[in-house]
């Protein structure tokens, strides 16, 4: 069975502080995919990153960075120099891929990030 | 990029009536679409997997007779909430997979009064 754990329910920071969101996953599959999505108050889900299980390279995209460590089954997300517009719920998610198709996304509980001026 | 259009964005209906939510893939063919439900301050819970031309696969605990899913074409899946009750009020969101990426509709906020 697949499981995604986001232990942090809410994180509050002051603008320009860095914030790290934790994500720990469980799966028996050797081939799987990890995702991060942002959900602002409007409700739509915004795709941030996808990482497959064979690619442990960390990635940086602007103020966002991701640390994937298979040894600890973690895929953590850091926002550097946070801004008020970063306030949202962030979801970590996991899926598997078979030969023919993509499986369902298993979401973590989400972490609410509140950035105050 | 891949776009999924979901309508309506908001709907208010009376208890006992049925509501249909549409999810369209605008620039790609989606053989599989996923329907999620989200309660306030909660995560997305998968309700069912919609497969074009065949019956949907429902998650455990989801009433298939209450939440009817039809995926009649490669670009359209619909979710019908039948005989809606206040406890069905929620945020419903669809998703389609294209080349390994999951694209989401903008969601439908259903309020049953």
Question: pLDDT digit string (tens) for A29-43?
Answer: 888 999 999 999 989
The pLDDT assigned to A74 comes to 97
Residues from chain A contacting residue B44 (CB–CB below 8 Å): 45, 91, 105, 107
Rounded distance between C-alpha atoms, residue A19 and residue A82, angstroms: 7
**Identity of the residue in A42, A44, A107 whose CB atom sits nearest the CB atom of B43:** A107
Residues from chain A contacting residue B91 (CB–CB below 8 Å): 43
Residues near A70 by beta carbon (within 8 Å), at least 6 away in sequence:
A53, A56
Question: Average pLDDT in the B18-37 region?
Answer: 92
- Tell me: pLDDT of A99 over 70: no
The verdict on a CB contact (< 8 Å) between B104 and A44 is yes
Q: φ and ψ at A47, to 5 degrees?
A: -70, 135
User: A41, A50, A107: best mutation site toward chain B, by most B Cβ within 10 Å?
Assistant: A107
The pLDDT assigned to A30 comes to 87
């Amino acid at each position: 069975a697949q499981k995604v754990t986001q232990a942090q329910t809410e994180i509050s920071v002051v603008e320009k502080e860095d914030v790290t969101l934790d994500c720990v996953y469980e799966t028996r599959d050797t081939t799987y995919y990890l995702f991060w999505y942002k959900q602002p108050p409007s409700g739509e889900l915004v795709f941030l990153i996808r990482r497959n299980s064979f690619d442990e390279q960390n990635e940086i995209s602007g103020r966002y960075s991701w640390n994937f460590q298979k040894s600890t089954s973690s895929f953590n997300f850091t926002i550097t120099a946070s801004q008020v517009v970063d306030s949202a719920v962030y979801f970590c998610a996991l899926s598997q891929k078979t030969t023919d198709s993509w499986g369902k996304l298993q979401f973590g509980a989400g972490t609410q990030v509140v950035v105050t001026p | 990029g891949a776009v999924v259009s979901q309508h309506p964005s908001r709907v208010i209906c009376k208890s006992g009536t049925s509501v249909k939510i549409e999810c369209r893939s605008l620039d790609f063919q989606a053989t599989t679409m996923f329907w999620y439900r989200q309660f306030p301050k909660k995560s997305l819970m998968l309700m069912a997997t919609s497969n074009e031309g065949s019956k949907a696969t429902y998650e455990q605990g989801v009433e298939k007779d209450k939440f009817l899913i039809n995926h009649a074409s490669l670009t359209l899946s619909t979710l019908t909430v039948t005989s809606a009750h206040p406890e069905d009020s929620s945020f419903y969101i669809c998703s389609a997979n294209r080349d390994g990426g999951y694209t989401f509709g903008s969601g439908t906020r259903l309020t049953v009064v």
